[in-house]
Structure 1
Amino acid sequence: MKFENKGFTGLKAELSRLDDCMLEYGLVREGQWDYERVTYDRKFELKEGIFYLRIQGYAVEGDVGAGKALIQLMTPLLGKYYYPHGVEYGEGESFPKSLAAQCEKILTELKSEIAHFAK
């Protein structure tokens, strides 16, 4: 599920500021990065399954590995985890309405906070 029109696409911010801000909302980068890309995930364990809110971005300046990069964010996603295949975001997936609403709220608040330091 894509969260279109949330204002994340094209939003640019410094990596260190993003890391701190995302963590406040439970989105962690952990080992999900390379020198050009980052992925922030928040895991939701519900009776319907395991779901991930994911925000991805890529470096338009600098180097993620060095901790100094300007990151351009992409459209946030909500996916369902299937063992052993991984996370699926497809159109055919169904997501609990309460989870989608919770993710919408998180994204609205997060976007507002990032806007304070975005470039």
Structure 2
Amino acid sequence: MKIENTGIEKLKADVNRLDEIMRSHGLVREGQWDYERVTYDRKFQIKEGTFYLRIQGHTLEGDVGAHDASIQLMIPLLGKHYYPHGVEYGDGEHFPQHLQKTCQQILTDVVKEVSAFAH
């Protein structure tokens, strides 16, 4: 499920600052990057299943591996994990209202913090 109208897709920021802010909200990059892309995930294990809030971005300039990249963020996704197949983001999925509200609050906080230093 795409989480529209957050404003996050309008933000461009330094990868090092993004890493700090995302981590403070439980969104981790870990090994999910290459030299031109990043993915931040937060895992939710709730009674309805396992879900992931995902924020992706791509490099506008610089190199993620060298920690000198400028990242353009993209529209966030909410997906449900199905073992062993992976994460589904489709419109046919059910995403609990309480989870959607939690994700929306996280995204609001991230946008506020990233906006303070975005370029």
Bucket of the pairwise TM-score, normalised by the shorter protein? over 0.9
C-alpha separation in 2, matches of 1:12 and 1:46: 32
1:117 aligns with 2:93: no
What is the TM-score with the length of structure 1 in the denominator? 0.98
RMSD of the alignment, in Å? 0.6
1:107 aligns with 2:107: yes
SS of 1:63 mapped into structure 2: coil
Which letter maps to 2:28? V
C-alpha separation in 1, matches of 2:9 and 2:67: 22
**In structure 2, what is the equivalent of residue 86 of structure 1?**
86
C-alpha separation in 2, matches of 1:101 and 1:5: 14
1:5, distance to aligned residue in structure 2 (A): 1.0
> Counterparts of 1:28-107 in structure 2 under 5 Å?
28-107=28-107
Query: Aligned residues, how many?
Result: 119
Runs of 4+ displaced beyond 4 Å:
none
1:38, distance to aligned residue in structure 2 (A): 0.2
Gaps spanning 5+ residues in structure 1: where?
Answer: none
1:79, distance to aligned residue in structure 2 (A): 0.3
Which letter maps to 1:97? Q
C-alpha separation in 2, matches of 1:83 and 1:10: 34
C-alpha separation in 2, matches of 1:10 and 1:64: 19
Residue by residue over 1:61-109, the C-alpha shift from the partner in whole angstroms, topping out at 9 and shown as x without a partner, is 0001111100000000100001111110001001110000000011011
SS of 2:18 mapped into structure 1: helix
C-alpha separation in 1, matches of 2:62 and 2:113: 23
Gaps spanning 5+ residues in structure 2: where?
Answer: none
What is the TM-score with the length of structure 2 in the denominator? 0.98
1:19, distance to aligned residue in structure 2 (A): 0.2
